[in-house]
Structure 1
């Protein structure tokens, strides 16, 4: 039984890796795509921005619509849609067709990821759920840190078509593994749409959404311009910058593993302390940003915290609405994507108006706002918070 659960979680992690890799992998080959389709790099960038917009739009809706259908069938459907989109992207010479082949599957991105997180949590005891979810999040981190360099390497050494084929291969592998090894998972207790939407009438849900939005803005608002920061402020070479980005991504994976243990043993304390610790890291970063070695150490620590933060965000929204897991995970995906968009936009304005080094204060301000939302939830919803704290002590 334990082996079957481990296999299930492994397949879910690979599936999430394939979905995230399809989203993020094109970042490293945007110039090549622009040349291939004979469009500007900014226009080719629509393959990234419209993908993210589709996720933000469908996050609260499609997981809700599919919440009553057999989980295995839904996962196979989403993987099939991604495979078709991947294959079309490989063979088409038309940019509009290629864009549609990416954006249409993107709407189903939250469906697969939300189900993967819900299934991972449901496959183990409630106490062990954060650890199971953290293993799925390793797929998220791997999709972000490995997808870009792997696809870029394939495009540079073989061909763009082979690089694009990598997306399809991973999703085809997951489809076959899901078909053969994942058991049928009919929904045991189908929740009405109304009962799930009702969580939006609860203040705890909105405080959780706001906290997650600010926490993710704090991380990705700064991370979006990390390469710029290391170039302008730290004066690193391109090769060292690439190495630092890899360090950050690998540290994310370590953070996922740590987060599983922290959220299993000390959930409320971990969430409450997190913005304080990350704020301190940003403030140190501001003062040592011109020094190469301290900056490298900060990026390692920051990367670990980034991995922990991803798990905290999912846990914080899920714990506010545990009876509607698919819908809650959809809200989580929308919240983090909006946080990333807002954080990156504000940081971009700061760079243009004041200077690159000051983007760290965008992170600090976002963390302060997120911390306030966390304290408000802990204070206004003491019974629920106390219940989670008691479970801390019981463990």
Structure 2
């Protein structure tokens, strides 16, 4: 049984990697895509922004709509849609068709990711859930930070078509593995749409959503401009910046492993400590921004914390709405995307108004606000008998 669970989690992890890589991998080859389809780079960027918009819109709704269907059938449907979209992208010469082939699968993106977290959690004992989910999160991190350089390398070394074929290959492997090795996973207790949506009536759910938005804003409001920061403030070379970004990505994966243990042992203390730990990192980041070696070291520590933060975000929402796990995971995905959008926007304002060095302030401000929502949720969830002692 344990071997079967491990294989399922591995397939889910690779599946999530394939889905996230399809979303993020395009970022590294936008100039090549623009040249391939004879459009401007800004227009090619629609492949990224429209995908993200579709994910944000479908986050709460699509997992809810598919929550009553056999998990394996849903997995195969989503992987099939992604594989078909990737194949169309390889062979089409029309940018409009390529855009459609990207946006349609994007609406199914939250279904697979939400399902992966839910299925991984359901495959282990309750006390092992954070560790199982953290393994799936490795696929998220790898898709975000490992996929981009791999796809960029394939595009430059071979062709843009082969880079897109890499997306299709990963999804095809997971599709075949799901058919062969994943057993039928029927929904044991089908929840009505109304009973799932009712989690939004709880103040804890909204506090958790606010926390996730703020914590993701804290991480990605700064990370979105890390390359620019390292270039203009630290004066790193292009190669050094690339290496530092790779180090951040590797550290992010390590953070996922650590997060599973932290959330298993003492979840509330881990969540409460997170804003303080990341806040200290950002203060050092600001003070040592001009020095190459300290910045490289602090970026690695930051990457580990960012990996832990992703797991904290998912746990914080699912623990507030555990009675509707599919819908809760959809809320997590949408909240995380909103946080990234908010942080990037505010970070841009700080840069334009004060300079690149001060982008760290969006992280610190978001952390202060997140600490308030975390404390409020812990206070509301603590039994009154304990508070009166």
Q: TM-score when scaled to structure 1?
A: 0.97
Unpaired runs of at least 5, structure 2? none
Mapping 1:1-395, distance limit 5 Å: 1-383=1-383
Secondary structure (helix, strand or coil) at the match of 1:128 reads: helix
> Following TM superposition, by how much is the alpha carbon of 1:380 offset from its aligned partner in structure 2, in angstroms?
1.8
Q: In 1, Cα distance between the equivalents of 2:297 and 2:214? A: 25
Q: In 2, Cα distance between the equivalents of 1:182 and 1:305? A: 32
Secondary structure (helix, strand or coil) at the match of 2:184 reads: coil
Q: In 1, Cα distance between the equivalents of 2:170 and 2:355? A: 40
Q: How well do the aligned residues superpose, as a CA RMSD in angstroms?
A: 1.0
**Runs of at least 4 residues of structure 1 off by over 3 A?**
383-386
What does the per-residue CA deviation read over 1:319-357, in whole Å, with 9 as the maximum and x for residues that have no partner?
001110000000000000000001001101111111000
Q: In 1, Cα distance between the equivalents of 2:318 and 2:366? A: 21
> Following TM superposition, by how much is the alpha carbon of 1:294 offset from its aligned partner in structure 2, in angstroms?
0.5
> Following TM superposition, by how much is the alpha carbon of 1:363 offset from its aligned partner in structure 2, in angstroms?
0.2
Q: In 2, Cα distance between the equivalents of 1:58 and 1:70? A: 20
Q: In 2, Cα distance between the equivalents of 1:231 and 1:50? A: 28
Q: In 2, Cα distance between the equivalents of 1:197 and 1:257? A: 31
Q: Tell me the equivalent position of 1:392.
A: none
Secondary structure (helix, strand or coil) at the match of 2:320 reads: coil
> Following TM superposition, by how much is the alpha carbon of 1:6 offset from its aligned partner in structure 2, in angstroms?
0.5
> Following TM superposition, by how much is the alpha carbon of 1:385 offset from its aligned partner in structure 2, in angstroms?
12
> Following TM superposition, by how much is the alpha carbon of 1:118 offset from its aligned partner in structure 2, in angstroms?
0.2
Cα distance change of structure 1 residues 384 and 356 upon mapping to structure 2, 3 Å threshold = farther
Determine if contact 1:378/1:385 at 8 Å carries over to the other structure: no
Determine if contact 1:215/1:370 at 8 Å carries over to the other structure: yes
Q: In 2, Cα distance between the equivalents of 1:317 and 1:376? A: 14
Q: In 2, Cα distance between the equivalents of 1:220 and 1:167? A: 24
Q: In 1, Cα distance between the equivalents of 2:341 and 2:91? A: 31
> Following TM superposition, by how much is the alpha carbon of 1:383 offset from its aligned partner in structure 2, in angstroms?
3.4
> Following TM superposition, by how much is the alpha carbon of 1:146 offset from its aligned partner in structure 2, in angstroms?
1.1
Q: Tell me the equivalent position of 1:390.
A: none
Secondary structure (helix, strand or coil) at the match of 1:323 reads: coil
Secondary structure (helix, strand or coil) at the match of 1:183 reads: coil
Q: In 2, Cα distance between the equivalents of 1:19 and 1:212? A: 21
Unpaired runs of at least 5, structure 1? 387-395
Q: In 2, Cα distance between the equivalents of 1:357 and 1:79? A: 42
Q: In 2, Cα distance between the equivalents of 1:37 and 1:349? A: 32
Q: In 2, Cα distance between the equivalents of 1:238 and 1:144? A: 20
Q: In 2, Cα distance between the equivalents of 1:214 and 1:294? A: 27
Q: In 2, Cα distance between the equivalents of 1:351 and 1:38? A: 32
What does the per-residue CA deviation read over 1:194-247, in whole Å, with 9 as the maximum and x for residues that have no partner?
000000011000000000000000001110000000000000000000000000
How many aligned residue pairs are there?
Answer: 386
Secondary structure (helix, strand or coil) at the match of 2:126 reads: coil
